[in-house]
């Protein structure tokens, strides 16, 4: 079973992702960026779902640190965010995210497609 | 200002049931009850401290949770306050906080009513 790291401080969003993805993937949950970085290095997953508005180190900084670390820079990282304004998608892709999924999650297929297109079967 | 035509979106709750059954919905409402109150307390504390970044984070989190659970008025009020806080303006949040608290309480009542109705029908 492929492994996904979920970096999300909101417990309700973690519950939702567990319900949507828990049957297909092995999820490892992190509530803060610092906790996630330590975990990703120790046990790299196949993909990272990264919330942007995290307390302390935000998702953008977490991504920068992932891309700066030789051992985990290859990981596909999908931004999961409630920042949904015109031009946001391009902004996040330009920063180095592999994809961008907005919250609230209304159509789960958008999330599934973003994940499946970046995880080899 | 965010335009909110209806304070609640029942389809959002139905969607969560589709995603994970009544169990997921009940769990998410439980978390919203406790975390939502914490976010409001955090927003109030950030206002008192004049900390715009902390205020923005608090209302952003509440905005996201509220939208996923169909509390559209609350989510809209949070969105407006977040935009202002990110621009280092705390007056809009200070002005709307009582309305925000009332919208949160209304949302919890609405969600709880939905779960209670489902329980009595099921």
Kindly state the helix (H) or strand (E) to which residue B68 belongs, with its residue range: helix B52-68
Domains of chain B: 23-113 (1.20.120)
Question: Chain A interface residues facing chain B, Cβ-Cβ under 8 Å?
Answer: 9-13, 15-16, 19-20, 53, 55, 82, 103-106, 108
**Considering chain B, what percentage of its residues have pLDDT values greater than 70?**
93
Task: Report how many domains make up chain A.
Answer: 1
The reported pLDDT for the residue numbered B118 is 73
Q: Is B57 on the interface with A (CB under 8 A)?
A: yes
Section B77-105 average pLDDT: 95
Query: Residue B96 burial by CB count (10 A; 0-12/13-18/19+): exposed, middle or buried?
Result: middle
Judge whether A28 lies within some domain.
yes
Instruction: Say whether pLDDT at B68 is over 80.
Output: yes
Instruction: Say whether pLDDT at B2 is over 90.
Output: no
Instruction: Say whether pLDDT at A23 is over 70.
Output: yes
Q: What is the pTM of this model?
A: 0.92
Are B61 and A16 in contact (CB < 8 Å)? no
Judge whether A93 lies within some domain.
yes
CATH code for position A76: 3.40.50.2300
Instruction: Say whether pLDDT at A85 is over 90.
Output: no
Shortest distance between the Cα of B68 and any Cα of chain A, in A, equals 5
Question: What was the ipTM of the complex prediction?
Answer: 0.89
Residue ranges making up the domain that contains A68:
3-116
């Amino acid at each position: 079973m492929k492994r996904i790291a979920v970096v999300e401080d909101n417990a309700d969003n973690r519950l939702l992702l567990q319900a949507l993805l828990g049957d297909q993937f092995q999820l490892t949950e992190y509530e803060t960026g610092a906790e996630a970085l330590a975990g990703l290095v120790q046990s790299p997953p196949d993909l990272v779902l990264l919330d942007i508005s995290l307390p302390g180190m935000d998702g953008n900084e977490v991504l920068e640190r992932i891309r700066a670390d030789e051992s985990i820079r290859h990981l596909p990282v999908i931004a999961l965010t409630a920042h949904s304004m015109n031009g946001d998608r391009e902004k996040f892709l330009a920063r180095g995210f592999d994809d961008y999924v907005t919250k609230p999650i209304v159509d789960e297929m958008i999330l599934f497609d973003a994940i499946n297109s970046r995880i080899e079967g | 200002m965010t335009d909110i035509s209806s304070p609640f979106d029942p389809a959002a709750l139905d969607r969560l049931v589709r995603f994970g059954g009544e169990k997921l919905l009940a769990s998410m409402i439980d978390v919203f009850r406790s975390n939502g109150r914490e976010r409001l307390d955090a927003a109030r504390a950030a206002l008192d401290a004049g900390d715009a970044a902390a205020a923005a984070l608090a209302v952003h989190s509440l905005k996201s949770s509220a939208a996923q659970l169909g509390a559209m008025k609350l989510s809209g009020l949070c969105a407006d306050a977040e935009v202002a806080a990110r621009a280092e303006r705390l007056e809009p949040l200070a002005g709307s906080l009582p309305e925000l608290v009332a919208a949160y309480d209304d949302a919890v009542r609405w969600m709880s009513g939905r779960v209670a109705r489902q329980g009595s029908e099921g």
